[in-house]
Amino acid sequence: MTKGLDGPLEIGGVTFTSRLIVGTGKYKTNEVMVDAIRASGAEMVTVAVRRVDLDRTKEEAILHHLPPEDYFLLANTAGCYTAEDAVRYARLARAAGFNEFIKLEVIGDELTLLPDVHATLEAARTLAGEGFKVMAYTNDDLITALRLEDAGCAAVMPLASPIGSGLGIVNPYFIREIKRRLEVPVIVDAGVGTASDACITMEQGVDGVLMNTALAAAGDPVRMAHAMRHGVVAGRLAYLAGRMPAREIAVPSSPTVGMLD
Amino acid sequence: MSEQTTIKVQLNGKERVIDRGHTVRSLLAWLELTPGMVVVELNRDILERDRYEEFPVTEGDALELVHFVGGG
């Protein structure tokens, strides 16, 4: 759809056509998840690292449903509250043998799930030093984003609004400022609720959007995945095209001359 | 006094009694887990997948068996 209209997204030396990254959590069934991810057009999908359920009462490995040859797996450190834990999860994820990428997430508060930026920075330095391609989830703070870039992150991922909130982009100005100042890709991660949110987020000029709940918790996840795919493309192309200036007066679109007497 | 035929280990945070003499590889087989689908941490050290048979499981070991699940 965007052939010739948009370039690829490159993160840590890997090239993606889609600017939408999707999670794999919270779907009602694995079938719906697979269909939604396919509809989204995403190439990179996030997964979490957890203990194998040895009682096998539920849960099978996600890889049975998402063939690693079809998707680029981005393991996360979700659920970690310390730098040490996040580093441990990242190392376990890398040992699975797919790639060096990690979505670094260190949470600082249970209620808002806002990131602990100090711990995130500490873990980012450690992991980048170990050769990880770190994609760091952070808040919409420019200084933290700059420090994460300095720490060697492959991408910096400020939130639009809290994880799972669906509130959309609450601070477009800060997101734009982060995008303006960073060299590495800026991916907005968390908070998108519907297709217009994805579109408005991409209109800020960022390189991509990562979402999970907006698809998984939609009334019809597959249909919403289609909508998100279009929303991301629409926002990206609108950004590249450059919008007309907004003005609070009307200007006619049709000629004012040649009217009948 | 005859040697115990079982040992106690911590398996994913729970105490489990297993047969003595397992390697990590044979333990995974006993648990019906595909080695390629899990990552093993033995006493906080991550093991290389092609070396599971080199690590005996002994009394008091703490093993974590993890894999990828859905997440955002």
Percent of chain A with pLDDT over 70: 97
Q: Could you tell me if residue A259 is inside a domain?
A: no
**Domain of residue A152, CATH code:** 3.20.20.70
Residue A204 has what DSSP assignment?
Answer: T
A56 lies in a domain? yes
Per residue in B31-59, pLDDT tens? 999 888 899 999 999 999 999 999 999 99
Q: Which of A3, A26, A58, A103 is catalytic?
A: A103
A70 falls within a domain = yes
pTM to 2 decimal places: 0.93
What would you measure as the largest C-alpha separation in chain A, in angstroms? 85
pLDDT band at A51 (very low <50, low <70, confident <90, very high): very high
User: Average pLDDT in the B13-19 region?
Assistant: 95
User: Does residue A103 carry a catalytic annotation?
Assistant: yes
- Domain span at residue B41 reads 6-66
The per-residue pLDDT for A56 is 73
pLDDT tens digits, residue range A124-147?
999 999 999 999 999 999 999 999
- The total of structural domains in chain A comes to 1
For residues A154-172, give the mean pLDDT: 96
A160 pLDDT higher than 60: yes
Q: Report how far residue A134's alpha carbon sits from residue A120's, in angstroms, rounded to the nearest whole number.
A: 11
Tell me how many domains chain B contains. 1
Range of the domain at A148: 17-241
How far is Cα A144 from Cα A153, in angstroms, rounded to an integer?
12
Please give the angle made by the CA atoms of A28, A82 and A113, to the nearest 5 degrees. 45
Contact A141, A109 (CB under 8 A): no
Q: Is the pLDDT of residue A2 over 60?
A: no
Percent of chain A scored above 90 by pLDDT? 92
ipTM > 0.85? yes
CATH number assigned to the domain comprising residue B34: 3.10.20.30
Nearest residue on chain A to B11, judged by CA atoms?
A54
Residue A249 lies in a domain: no
Cα end-to-end distance, chain B, whole Å: 54
* pLDDT-based confidence at residue A54 (cuts at 50, 70, 90): confident
Sort out which chain B residues have CB atoms less than 8 A from A211's CB and list them: 72
Cα–Cα distance measured from residue A120 to residue B9, given in angstroms and rounded to the nearest whole number: 33
Alpha-carbon gap: A185 to the closest alpha carbon of chain B (Å): 19
User: Pick from A79, A75, A54, A57: which is nearest to A66 by CA?
Assistant: A75
Among chain B residues, the shortest Cα distance to A212 is held by B72
